[in-house]
Amino acid sequence: MLLDANVIEKKRSPRLMKNSFMKMLFLFSTLIGLVVLVVLLGTTLLDGWKYLTVDFFTNFSSSRPSRAGIKGAILGTLWLMAFTTPIAIFLSVGTALYLEEYAPKNKFTKFVETNIANLAGVPSVVFGLLGLTIFVRQFGLGNSVIAASLTLSLMIMPVIVVASQEALRTVPLAVREASIGMGASKWQTVSRIILPAAIPGIITGIILAISRAIGETAPLVVIGIPVALLTTPSSPLDSFQALPMQIYNWVKMPQAEFQNLTAAAIIVLLALLLMMNFVAIIIRNKYSKRF
């Protein structure tokens, strides 16, 4: 039985209209995010690029806008990330490897995995309170680099664990069985086959986690990181400044010059973040080509 072309077109037209409407709705949603991002970046660059001078990078924080700089904050942030990144990677990837490759598949393991995933949504200020109680007061580390690094490491650990588990699950079971069948031990299979193949996905999780850690302010405020300090750290046990804290301090100042300094500090923070992500992406692409 042949259908009339008019009947087909009549039934087809509403579906095409609905498809066009949804397409425009999704495009509009995307454009909103892009416009807001462009406006935000454009405003920040216009306000801050003139203040990116040599003095801005070589001066310490000051109550006078003309003498204020980010030397202490930028060096403190580098110290902070230098300890946060390896601690978080070691703990998180190790946890993911144990849960996926070694832990028995029972209700307790499932309970642990569920709670780790839930921790990824816990507000950062809660991790700040945890760091204040354990690292600052219980361990007596004070507002030092290592105390802040351990706090931020715990904060970003759930994100890396979940991403690492998903990356490990993408390695085919046949690869594992082939390695074991060739006489390799469990650790040889994990270290030489599974982990290298999962590195691209793991690094993606690390990029997202570090991007969150480098811009966090709430945990640093809670554990008492100073907003003004005229020295730079020389060891992990020293006090330090951080760019997010410097930005937080300047944005509260009533003078218009401090608002422009805030924009300049944000540009520097974004540049640091982009450089770290660039290095991580290079590593990820290298292993993506290999495996």
CA distances from 150 to 176, 248, 271 (A): 34, 21, 24
Residues 202-210 have a mean pLDDT of: 88
CA separation (Å) from 138 to 20, 142, 274? 60, 9, 36
Q: Which two tokens stand for residue 60?
A: 């310490």
The per-residue pLDDT for 83 is: 94
Compute the half-sphere exposure of residue 133: CA atoms within 13 Å on the CB side of its CA. 6
pLDDT score at 289: 52
Which of the four pLDDT bands, split at 50, 70 and 90, describes residue 172? confident
Which band of pLDDT confidence, cut at 50, 70 and 90, is reported for residue 177?
Answer: confident
**Helix, coil or strand: residue 235:** coil
Residue type, 146: I
Q: Residue 3: pLDDT above 60? A: no
**Would the pLDDT of 25 be above 70?**
yes
Alpha carbons 223 and 144: distance in angstroms, whole number:
9
pLDDT at 130: 92
Alpha helices in the chain (DSSP H): 5-48, 54-58, 71-97, 107-119, 124-131, 145-169, 173-181, 186-189, 195-214, 218-222, 243-251, 256-290
The four Cα atoms 30, 36, 39, 41 give a dihedral, to 10 degrees, of -90
Q: Can you give the pLDDT at residue 135?
A: 93
pLDDT of residue 35: 94
pLDDT of residue 207: 87
- Phi, psi values for residue 5, rounded to 5°: -60, -35
Mean pLDDT, the chain, integer = 87
pLDDT of residue 149: 94
pLDDT at 67: 86
118-133 pLDDT, tens digit each: 988 888 999 999 999 9
CA angle 74/77/82 to nearest 5° reads: 130
pTM above 0.85, yes or no: no
pLDDT digits (tens, 9 = 90+) for 235-280: 999 999 899 988 988 888 888 888 889 999 999 998 888 888 888 7
- Cα(193)–Cα(175) distance, rounded to whole angstroms? 8
Q: How far is CA 69 from CA 209, 238, 259, in A?
A: 28, 20, 13
Q: What is the pLDDT of residue 282?
A: 82
285 has pLDDT over 90: no
Question: 110 with 104: CB under 8 angstroms?
Answer: no
pLDDT band of 148, cuts 50, 70, 90 = very high
Check pLDDT > 80 for residue 10. Answer: no
Higher-pLDDT residue of 2, 270: 270
pLDDT exceeds cutoff 70 at 5:
no
Give per-residue pLDDT as tens, 96-110.
999 998 888 888 999
Q: What percent of the chain has pLDDT over 70?
A: 95
41-95 tens-digit pLDDT: 898 888 888 888 888 888 888 888 888 889 989 999 999 999 999 999 999 999 9
Q: Is the pLDDT of residue 111 over 70?
A: yes
Q: Tell how far CA 272 is from the center of its chain.
A: 12
CATH classification (class only), 54-287: mainly alpha
